[in-house]
Chain A
Amino acid sequence: MSALWHDMPLRGRVLAGALLAALAAAPLVADRYLLSVLILIFYFAYLGQAWNLMMGLAGQLSLGHALYVGLGGYVAAMLWVHLGIGPWLALVPAMAAGALAGGVIAWLGFRFSIEGVYFALLTIAFAEFTRIAFEHIGAAGGAGGFFIPYQAERLGEWWNLRGGQWLFYYVAFALATGAVALTAWLKRSRLGYHWQAVRENQQAARALGIDILAVKMKAAVISSAMTAVGGVFYAFYYDSLFPAQVFNISRSIELMLAPIVGGLGTIFGPVFGAFILTPLGEGLSAALEQLGVNAPGAKAVFYGLTLMLIIFVRPDGVWPALARACGLAPARGDDA
């Protein structure tokens, strides 16, 4: 962390400080719509960061991260509605559920050396399996969805994540900032270097004495537990969960957009990606609505084209090149 700050050129420090201050003060001036877009940006920056740990740092492609979002959300929402256990406490079982699912999938995959595409398919298969299972679990509301009832008298209970937009804004802000800090710290940690070694060359990493299976498992467990936290936020922000939506493959794809566009394996890439993509997508939806065009797929077509374009011309993402061009890249290394 402190290394990140030290390596950052002065210009970067000033910019980062100004951005943090502006975002912290945003609720004072921004209207509801702008705040809702910012919340989405933070949410996707956070999830992107979680996915980035596994794909960007450890090089393991997961296409089923919606599974952990859904599990985290369902665990917290059901504990709250059925047992009255608040979300802060429920973070522990939610993260445990995510970590367990992520750990089991990773163990099954990596133990039997299912790599690359096959591993990605395994993650999708588990997410889809769980989606259909949840559509048939009565206690979780089945296909009709699970709802957190609106209770006006609890609105002020910020400690139970019950509150207005400001509350969710600052929670999302904290999540995104925390995720950046965690990624920065992990990337420079012993584990982080092990991940990057495995990503670059598994054989060489093994020859160096790195326990490949353990290192990959840690990536999966940390990433899925982090993602489950995002699910808790999702459940309490939207107050509803539908299996067909939360566990959908398109959710898994959606949350990898920001890190891919921003830059895989970079610290600020996922944040930057979320800051470009989310407003563009939301803006497109709003513009089409203004024009009276009812085109449900338009936003996804745009995202799809963006994905293809980025991977075609700049597979490393936009952020690394931009950071270099603006003199924001650190003096040493390639950590942007």
Chain B
Amino acid sequence: MSSLILNVVVQGGLTGLVYGLMALGLSVIFGVVRVVNFAHGELVVLAMYAAFELWRSFGLDPLVGTLPVAVVFFGLGYLLQTTLINPFIGRAEHEQFILLVGLGMVIVNGLLMIFRPDARPINLAYGFDSYEVGPLLIYKVNLLAGAAAVVVAAALFVFFRWTATGTAIRACADNLTGAAVVGLNVRRLYALTFGIGLACVGAAGALMVTIVEVRPALAPSFTLLAFIIVIIGGLGSMGGALLGGVLIGVSEALAGFFFEPSMKSMFSFGLLILVLVLRPQGLLGRRA
């Protein structure tokens, strides 16, 4: 029994790392551009379909497909910010919100028109390979996906911490006026940031197809999940996003194990309500 629960926890934690990467994209965008990306889950599902099509048409392993999808999504993010979102910087919060809700509707229903509502599974040759570690049985796919999520997050951390551009982006987040005064090109940095956020989304989406069968209806729940994770982990905290992801992954897996799988997201929403009310700055976030 206890080893079974341990297995569920590890499995959920590995899935949670991919969740965390997805939420990291949201966190980066909100932390810097101060725009709430309400089309987040829709973009994740778009990335999932991209990885799925790469696999179906060219036989490209989604774990390898992570790189091209992330690169394309970086471009997409850059483009979105320069064309659609930059005009909305400084406008009322609800206007930005509605713009992105509209974008999300277009994306997810466009996917519905093209791919139909049914779920699409991916069959990988090593789909059932697993490692035995003591009492644990770890699936190779989940382990690789979780590891890839950590690698991407670590690369991002290095970028923000030690490169000039990363520092400039952090400057924009900390003090917009100050950043503009010292001559930083804020609009370009915003576009870069949105691109980076969507690169996370692209990578997370490509990894996600190995865990969940892709279908358009996943989108709203991914958006919410990303928000839940970011709010639980604290907005703008990179470690918090990963930690929140693992926390949500594990709690969902446990809820699915002890109760009905269909009730698992109810626990996430309950957790969100609790965190919002009790500790709105998140577990690792700073008080605003």
Q: Which residues of A contact B (CB under 8 A)?
A: 55, 61, 108-109, 112, 114, 116-118, 120-122, 124-126, 128-129, 132-133, 135-136, 143, 249-250, 253, 256, 260, 295-298, 300-301, 303-308, 311-312, 315
Contacts and interface: CB of A to CB of B under 8 A. Distances in A.
B53 interface: no
Given A112-B277, A116-B93, A260-B98, A136 B263 contact: yes
Contact of A108 (B102, B106, B277): B277
B143 to A, nearest CB: 30
B34 to A, nearest CB: 10
Which of B102, B216, B269 has the most chain A CB within a 10 Å cutoff?
A: B102
B277 A307 contact: no
13 contacts: A112-B277, A116-B93, A118-B280, A121-B227, A121-B272, A125-B273, A136-B262, A253-B105, A304-B102, A305-B106, A306-B102, A307-B102, A307-B105
B127 interface: no
A136 B260 CA distance: 10
A55 B104 contact: no
A332 B220 CA distance: 43
Main secondary structure of the interface of B (DSSP, over half): helix
Interface stretch (B61-69, B110-118, B202-210): B110-118
Nearest to B99: A311
A300 B113 CA distance: 10
B67 to A, nearest CB: 30
Interface string B79-108: 000001001000111110111011111101
Contact of A112 (B92, B216, B266, B280): B280
Contact of B102 (A117, A135, A311): A311
B273 A298 contact: no
Interface string B265-288: 110011011001100100000000
Contacts of A308: 84, 99, 102-103, 106
Contacts of A312: 87, 99
Interface of B: 36, 84, 87, 91-95, 97-99, 101-106, 108-113, 117, 216, 220, 224, 227-228, 231, 260, 262-263, 265-266, 269-270, 272-273, 276-277, 280
A108 B84 CA distance: 34
B113 A295 contact: yes
Main secondary structure of the interface of A (DSSP, over half): helix
B256 to A, nearest CB: 12
Contacts of B224: 121, 124-125, 128
Contact of A304 (B104, B265, B276, B277): B104
Which of B91, B95, B112, B276 has the most chain A CB within a 10 Å cutoff?
A: B276
Given A121-B272, A124-B224, A135 B87 contact: no
Given A128-B269, A136-B263, A249-B220, A311 B98 contact: yes
A125 B223 CA distance: 11
Contacts of B277: 108, 112, 114
B35 to A, nearest CB: 10
A109 B278 CA distance: 11
Contacts of A311: 95, 98-99, 102
A109 B227 CA distance: 16
A117 B230 CA distance: 13
Contacts of B117: 296
Given A121-B231, A135-B262, A304-B102, A126 B273 contact: yes
B36 A117 contact: yes
B102 A128 contact: no
B113 A298 contact: yes
Which of A122, A135, A296, A301 has the most chain B CB within a 10 Å cutoff?
A: A301
B94 A121 contact: no
Nearest to B280: A114
A135 B36 CA distance: 30
Contact of B97 (A117, A136, A250, A305): A117
Contact of A61 (B97, B105, B110, B216): B97
Contact of A55 (B94, B103, B231): B94
Nearest to A260: B98
Nearest to B110: A301
A61 B106 contact: no
